[in-house]
Amino acid sequence: MGVGKKSFVWVLGLFCLMFSGIAAQNQKLADSLIKLYESETYEGDKLALLKKIAEESSTPDKQQAFAEALIKQAATDSLFDYLLSGHLQKGNALHHSGEYDLAIASYFKGISYAKRIDDTRAVGAITIAVANIYSEMGNPANAEIYYTQGIETLRKTTDTTALASALLNAGDEAFNAKEYKKALDYFDESALLFKEIDYLIGTAYNLGNVGMVYAEQGNDTLAEKNINEAISMLEALEDYYGIAIYLTYMSDIYFRKNELQTALRYAQRSLELAMQHGLNNQISDASLKLSEVYEAQGDQTNAYKFFKDHIVYRDSVRNIERVQQMADQRTNFEVSQKQAEIDLSEQKRKNQRILVIATIIALFLIALLAIGQFRRINFIRKTKQIIEEERDRSDRLLLNILPEETAEELKRNGKVTARKYEAVTVLFTDFKGFTTYSEGLSPEALVETVGFYFSAFDTIIEKHGLEKIKTIGDAYMCAGGLHQHTEDHATRMVQAAFELASFVENTKKDRNAKELTFDIRIGINSGPVVAGVVGTKKFAYDIWGDTVNVASRMETMSEPGKVNISETTYELVKDHWKCSYRGEIEVKNRGSMKMYFVNATAN
């Protein structure tokens, strides 16, 4: 689907809720507190006020700025409780801005201060926040470690809110792994805890995340109901982080329904919210969804524009720009300071001209050095981009030759170990009279004719999750059940076979393709095979065994336009397709074999 699998709503990203004891972040309250903090008449506890502002700010930039101010002031007096809060809120802000490495570093500092003051509740809660980031980064191993540690720690406390939120986020990680039952188990426990304490924002996220599970399971009705209810609650709480993600999921639901205008509206609304509140992850996800919708509408210009925006935000270009801006600010400051020193020196001592000239030359050399360094960095960045593009291109080419699982093994080990599969369905086709027909064709026309049919065959085979093995002349061979580990490979193969036959028949009726009047023979057999890669140069993926030989015989003994199957395949599909018994037919080098024609009507 269009929404990135790591774009989940992390309730524990809002840890300020747990430590402040309020229902949700409130930017209006934060703005009023900022005015109070900046007023010259305020004489109260400024540390406590800074802590409150950081907790209430729902805009990442503001939350980070006031969290850093809190850390700076608390550090002078070694106030560990305020340092804990400051690093926690800074981590939250960096997390929402997509700066994961800095967020994790800030969270770990918060954990160290929580341990100093023996705050078990804070240790458990921030550990879950670290798990959240690892999950978003696509590091399930670390995510599971920290979720387990965090939940075990929180179960030792009386903080129901923190425990419920941790369970909810652990459910998100199970969702990420497509373990939907495990995810719903987590969500069921967290829902009961949220209801017990009347925690509205937790209830909203729980509803939304359950809706996402339903969306992945294809139950769009329940998905819409849950997600719309979650959005309504979050709008009342002014929590735009969750709203942006759920709006993108709603867009995805309508995209699957092919209701493109509705999908477009939801994605546009998500992007507007994310842009307004500086939520980089959501900007990336919403841009990707808009790209998919526009592409489906045939608007390639907008599809490309939003896909480029998605890449920009995904790769944290904003962070690179920020580093460059900081470097520029520092250079400008140094130049201005040096110029001030020169002016002062000229006013006091005119006889120090030589020193001034030397200083200017030094600055010039530094500038040349900086320019050279910048060009070098820019060259390295462009070179890295080219290398990555070439690597992606080679990966795509490899996947056109080998199945994904085999390609990964070849890249990882430099070789592929042959494997035996106990239950595979193999299909062979060829065209009646093609050899005679091809003798009168030029090489170009022959290749074009074969390519016309086999390109369509490839599309049909891929659609049904089957694996093309090879073509030999006008013969086409494919298999099902090699890598999917499913039990319906035979029924899917029969369905694909009818679609292949239908395409050939329809082509015969096409006036524009009057030269292409072939009849197709199709044979199918099921059983064990051995699969592997042949050769070390120009290697090819192939399968061997008696199952393959029998499938070839089924095709040879078939009739034009018919799907001929063996007794083994018949036993696998008889509950799904109506078949006609052909009797025992004598096969060359095989003796008598039972065969069946599959009728075009499914049971």
Q: Are residues 490 and 431 in the same domain?
A: yes
CATH number, domain containing residue 443? 3.30.70.1230
CB burial class (10 A; 0-12, 13-18, 19+) of residue 586? Answer: exposed
| CA–CA gap between residue 232 and residue 382 (Å, rounded) | 45
Query: Is 324 part of any domain?
Result: no
Residue 201 has pLDDT above 90, yes or no: no
Residue 253 has pLDDT above 80, yes or no: yes
Q: Are residues 56 and 89 in the same domain?
A: yes
How high does pLDDT run on average in the chain?
Answer: 81
Q: What is the mean pLDDT of residues 117-121?
A: 92
Residue 270 has pLDDT above 60, yes or no: yes
50 contacts: CB under 8 Å, gap ≥ 6: 37, 66, 69, 70, 73, 86
Question: What is the per-residue DSSP string for 326-361?
Answer: HHHHHHHHHHHHHHHHHHHHHHH-GGGHHHHHHHHH
User: Tell me, what DSSP letter sits at residue 403?
Assistant: -
Residue 256 has pLDDT above 50, yes or no: yes
8 A C-beta contact, residue 255 and residue 303? no
**pLDDT (0 to 100) of residue 39:** 67
Q: Are residues 280 and 420 in the same domain?
A: no
Tokens of 64: 């980070």
**pLDDT (0 to 100) of residue 309:** 83
Query: Is 187 part of any domain?
Result: no
| CA–CA gap between residue 331 and residue 346 (Å, rounded) | 23
Residue 581 has pLDDT above 90, yes or no: yes
pLDDT band for 310, please (50, 70, 90 cuts). Answer: confident
- Provide the 3-class DSSP secondary structure of residue 577: strand
Residue 23 has pLDDT above 60, yes or no: no
Query: Is 193 part of any domain?
Result: no
CATH number, domain containing residue 15? 1.25.40.10
8 A C-beta contact, residue 268 and residue 50? no
CB burial class (10 A; 0-12, 13-18, 19+) of residue 369? Answer: exposed
Query: Is 222 part of any domain?
Result: no
Q: Are residues 421 and 550 in the same domain?
A: yes
Q: What is the mean pLDDT of residues 200-208?
A: 87
Residue 149 has pLDDT above 90, yes or no: yes
- Provide the 3-class DSSP secondary structure of residue 523: strand
| CA–CA gap between residue 137 and residue 285 (Å, rounded) | 14
Q: Are residues 45 and 118 in the same domain?
A: yes
Residue 532 has pLDDT above 80, yes or no: yes
Query: Is 62 part of any domain?
Result: yes
How far does the chain reach from its first CA to its final CA, in angstroms? 31
Q: Are residues 553 and 428 in the same domain?
A: yes
Rounded to 10 degrees, what is the CA torsion of 417, 418, 420, 421? Answer: 80
Q: Are residues 247 and 391 in the same domain?
A: no
Q: Is 118 left (phi over 0), alpha (psi -120 to 50) or beta?
A: left
Q: What is the mean pLDDT of residues 505-527?
A: 82
| CA–CA gap between residue 327 and residue 193 (Å, rounded) | 48
Tokens of 15: 């840890």
Residue 93 has pLDDT above 70, yes or no: yes
Enumerate the β-bridge partners of residue 565: 524, 596
Q: Are residues 381 and 515 in the same domain?
A: no
- Provide the 3-class DSSP secondary structure of residue 233: helix
Share of the chain above pLDDT 90, in %: 25
Please state whether beta strands 475-480 and 577-587 pair in parallel, antiparallel, or not at all (unpaired).
unpaired
Question: In 198-306, at which residue ranges do the beta strands (DSSP E only) sit?
Answer: none
Q: Which stretch of 45-49, 94-98, 174-178, 300-304 has the lowest confidence by average pLDDT?
A: 45-49
Q: Are residues 542 and 596 in the same domain?
A: yes
Q: Are residues 311 and 360 in the same domain?
A: no
Q: Are residues 535 and 581 in the same domain?
A: yes
Residue 598 has pLDDT above 70, yes or no: yes
Higher pLDDT, 17 or 365: 365
Query: Is 322 part of any domain?
Result: no
Q: What is the mean pLDDT of residues 418-426?
A: 90
Give the end of a domain, one of 401, 432, 447. Answer: 401
Q: Which stretch of 115-124, 164-173, 380-389 has the lowest confidence by average pLDDT?
A: 380-389
**pLDDT (0 to 100) of residue 514:** 60
Query: Is 471 part of any domain?
Result: yes
Domain count, the chain: 4
Higher pLDDT, 110 or 3: 110
Query: Is 335 part of any domain?
Result: no
Higher pLDDT, 325 or 297: 297
**pLDDT (0 to 100) of residue 300:** 87
| CA–CA gap between residue 530 and residue 528 (Å, rounded) | 7
Q: Are residues 297 and 353 in the same domain?
A: no
85: domain range?
11-177
User: Tell me, what DSSP letter sits at residue 511?
Assistant: G
pLDDT band for 4, please (50, 70, 90 cuts). Answer: very low
